[in-house]
């Protein structure tokens, strides 16, 4: 009888150990797949070609997949600032805008900039610090500005997007789709100030530093399409290791207006130019481009 109870106890503890090991394995497995899911936005590419006048989608490829969009975020950032703040106001650079990682226009706390010049620094040089400064100047804080971004996106009809920062640096909760970005861009290009900024190749600026000195400089646009494609009118480049190469573009020829969004496409310029040329050279329909 004693031997039977001993065997029973051993079987019980053996089964208990098995269940503990199984439980631990399930936790590790769940954590692994949670991590994969959290960072899975740009495991594929996404493309949309839109008629900028009518909103008709001329070509699409995985247009509704939620993707990280990197600095193309700044299209919505610029739009929110233009619609909700005085672009000719002079603003003092807050501490939260200093030393933001990635692309920078090297702002310093207490420097006094015209908001319009910060917008050029945002769109031409892709300054992450300019994005942070503009967000705080417009809404008082980055979370408040993100709320404004989401409200604006919903107003436009970009319902598959969620924004948590003004620059597009990696965050699992920050994403959009190619279709939504085309909608946002189409809306933004109807704003004359935005349209003028994003097609500008160079912009001269000046600001007053914290010591009271007047500093001058020039911004050069990073968007190579403006220099290499006839009729290009913007809009914004983007890249992080999570998003891959992204480009939102616009072009106009003979009264035809086009918006192209390519997300996580290595040859962003080549793909964009091919789609543009196809549209401009023919009376196209979706089936023609395919």
In the set 45, 46, 74, 273, the catalytic residue is 74
In the set 126, 139, 161, 243, the catalytic residue is 126
3-class secondary structure, 190: coil
In the set 71, 103, 160, 249, the catalytic residue is 71
Half-sphere exposure of 32 toward its Cβ, with a 13 Å CA cutoff?
Answer: 6
Whole-angstrom distance, CA of residue 144 vs CA of residue 82: 16
For tokens 């009271």, the residue is 212
126 is catalytic: yes
37 is catalytic: no
Residue 90 tokens read as: 């002079």
Whole-angstrom distance, CA of residue 216 vs CA of residue 218: 7
Structure-derived torsion over alpha carbons of residues 265, 269, 274, 279, reported in degrees to the nearest 10: 100
Residue 167 tokens read as: 């620059």
71 is catalytic: yes
Q: Where are the alpha helices (DSSP H) in the chain?
A: 2-38, 74-84, 115-124, 128-139, 142-156, 178-188, 192-198, 225-228, 268-281, 286-289
Closest residue by Cα to residue 232 from 245, 249, 217, 251: 251
Active site (catalytic) residues: 71, 74, 126
């Amino acid at each position: 009888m004693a031997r039977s109870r001993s065997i029973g106890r051993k079987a019980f503890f053996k089964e208990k150990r098995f269940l503990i090991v199984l439980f631990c394995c399930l936790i590790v497995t769940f954590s692994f797949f949670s991590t994969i899911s959290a960072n899975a936005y740009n495991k594929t590419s996404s493309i949309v070609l839109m008629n900028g006048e009518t909103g008709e989608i001329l070509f699409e490829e995985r247009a509704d997949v939620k993707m990280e969009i990197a600095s193309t975020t700044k299209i919505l950032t610029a739009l929110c600032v233009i619609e909700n703040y005085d672009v000719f106001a002079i603003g003092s650079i807050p501490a939260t805008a200093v030393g933001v990682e990635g692309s920078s226009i090297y702002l310093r706390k207490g420097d006094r900039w015209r908001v319009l010049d910060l917008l050029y620094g945002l769109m031409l040089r892709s300054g992450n610090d300019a994005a942070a400064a503009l967000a705080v100047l417009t809404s008082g804080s980055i979370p408040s500005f993100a709320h404004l971004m989401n409200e604006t996106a919903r107003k436009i009809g970009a319902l598959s997007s969620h924004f948590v920062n003004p620059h597009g640096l990696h965050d699992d909760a920050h994403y959009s789709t190619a279709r939504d970005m085309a909608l946002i861009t189409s809306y933004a290009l109807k704003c004359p100030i935005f349209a003028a900024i994003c097609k500008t190749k160079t912009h001269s600026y000046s600001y007053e530093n914290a010591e009271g000195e007047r500093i001058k400089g020039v911004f050069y646009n990073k968007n190579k399409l403006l220099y290499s494609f006839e009729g290009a009118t913007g809009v914004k480049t983007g890249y992080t290791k999570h998003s891959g190469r992204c480009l939102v573009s616009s072009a106009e020829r003979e009264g035809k207006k086009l918006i192209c969004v390519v997300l996580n496409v290595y040859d962003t310029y080549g793909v964009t130019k091919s789609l543009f040329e196809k549209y401009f050279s023919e009376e196209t329909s979706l089936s023609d481009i395919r």
